[in-house]
Structure formats: C-alpha cells, structure tokens
Amino acid sequence: MSTLLTLLDALDDRPQAVDLRERTYSALGDVVVDVGCGSGRAVGELAARGVRAIGVDADPAMIETAAARWPAGEFHVADATALPLHDGSVTGYRADKVLHVLPEPARAVGEARRVLAPGGRAVLTGQDWDTIVIDSDDPARTRSIVHARADGMPHPRIARRYRNLLLDNGFTDVTVDVHTLVWTDSAALPVLANLGGEGAWLAEQAARARDDRLFVAVPIFLTAGTRAG
C-alpha cells in the first residue's frame, strides 16, 4: 500500500495533474460523490470549497488513509455498482481512473445515473491503456510492455467508451476532452517501473532521464454529461 500511495501522491502533485483535477471539479454542484477516491485528495479539495464531498472506495485501507488525511470529507467502503446513497441525492459524480479496473463498468455508470439528481453532472476521467506513448530504442519491446500491461486489466480501453456509456444511460450534453500528461524527467521512472518492471528496458529509460532525453506521454480522456430528468 505504501508504494502505491507514494506513486499516487507523486502523480497527483504534478502541475498537469493538478490542472486536470481542477477541470473535473467544474459544475459538480454542492453534493459530490467521488467514486474510487483512493487516498481522498479530490474529496479533501472539494470539501475545502464548502462542498459536501463523499469518497467511496472498495479498498478499506485506502478509505482509512483518506479519512485520516482529509477529516473534512465523508468516506465509505463500498462498491462502485452499489453506492451507499439514496436515489437522486447528489449533484455531482466523479470517477477518476477507476472504471478500467471494474468488472462491470457499465453498471457503475448506471449507478451514477441513479444517485444523481436530474440535471446533475457526471465526470469520467482516465487513460486508454493502449495509447501510452514512450520514446525508446526498442519500440517493439515498448509496444509489448504497454500491451501486456493493458491486457492484464479488466477493461483497459474503457476510456474510449466513456461517451457511449453516458449516452447509453440517458445522459445528455455529453462532451469529451483529451488532456495529455507529459514527462521528460526522472519523475516518470516510478511510473515506468510500475509499467515494465526492472531490467534493460527500464535501465534505458533511466539513462534517458539522466541525459535529458526521456519522453512519456499519457492522454487522459475527460468525459462529462448531464443526468436527464
């Protein structure tokens, strides 16, 4: 858990990630549920703005950490497809980099519709795991690493389906934006280690970082829609 938290904290602190997080908060209203809240940063930031922010995660250890870090938030251990909320009880729904790990992401979006009040806003963000871009002297090996990681998760390409998932569940005014996170320094190395493990490939990336020749780009899809009446 500590390694995962360290990685999440490092990613969340990057200016591009801060900017993207700010964009996800737009027009969520005054009662927001953050599904897959992890260490709770979004909940804490929303609560600091006077929002009733509710964090939900299936991992009890994450919820314990989130509650300790962000005491102004409200946190629950729960599944994304069975939220501990009444019908129409929130004005905003946020799911950031979580649908790809769910067995049934379509059910989670249906649950978003249930808990949102008419006119409420749903925001889905995440990467398409096939679209990670890494400069390397061994492009074949790089493709293999990216695709192997993608194929090891339940729904690695769900982000390209966000728009249709919202439309299928009766959301209107659905918009899609792409925001690319770029690394050119050693801050990317923990991400690359998590992606490809140790060995010659990672050593090459470390050498690139030392020589100021590293390049990693991750397009993040931000899709939002309005819950119809």
Give residue-wise pLDDT tens across range 202-226.
999 999 999 999 999 999 999 999 9
Positive or negative, the CA dihedral 150, 155, 161, 162 is: negative
Asked whether residue 195 is domain-assigned, the answer is: no
Percent of the chain with pLDDT over 90: 88
pLDDT of residue 3: 62
Helix then strand then coil, % of the chain, to nearest 5: 45, 25, 30
- Residue 22 domain-assigned? yes
Residue 7 lies in a domain: yes
At 182 the pLDDT is 93
How does residue 196 score in pLDDT terms, banded at 50, 70 and 90? confident
Model pLDDT, residue 28: 98
Split into its structural domains, the chain has a count of 1
Q: Give residue 142's pLDDT.
A: 96
Domain assignment present for 134: no
| Structural domain of 94 | 2-128+155-180+220-227
Find the DSSP H helices in the chain: 2-13, 15-24, 41-47, 60-69, 105-115, 139-151, 162-168, 189-196, 200-210
Q: Give residue 201's pLDDT.
A: 96
CATH assignment of the domain containing 47:
3.40.50.150
78 Cα distance to chain centroid:
17
Is 143 a domain residue? Answer: no
In a domain, 30, yes or no: yes
The answer to whether 197 touches 87, Cβ cutoff 8 Å, is no
In a domain, 16, yes or no: yes
What pLDDT does 198 receive? 80
Give a yes or no: residue 14 inside a domain: yes
Can you give the pTM of this predicted structure?
0.93
| Contacts of 78 by beta carbon, 8 Å cutoff, 6+ apart | 56, 57, 58, 84
The predicted-structure confidence for 44-102, as pLDDT tens digits, reads as follows 999 999 999 999 999 999 999 999 999 999 999 999 999 999 999 999 999 999 999 99
Tell me how far CA of residue 42 lies from CA of 15, 47, 54, 70, 168, in angstroms.
15, 8, 10, 10, 27
Answer yes or no: is pLDDT of 143 > 80. yes
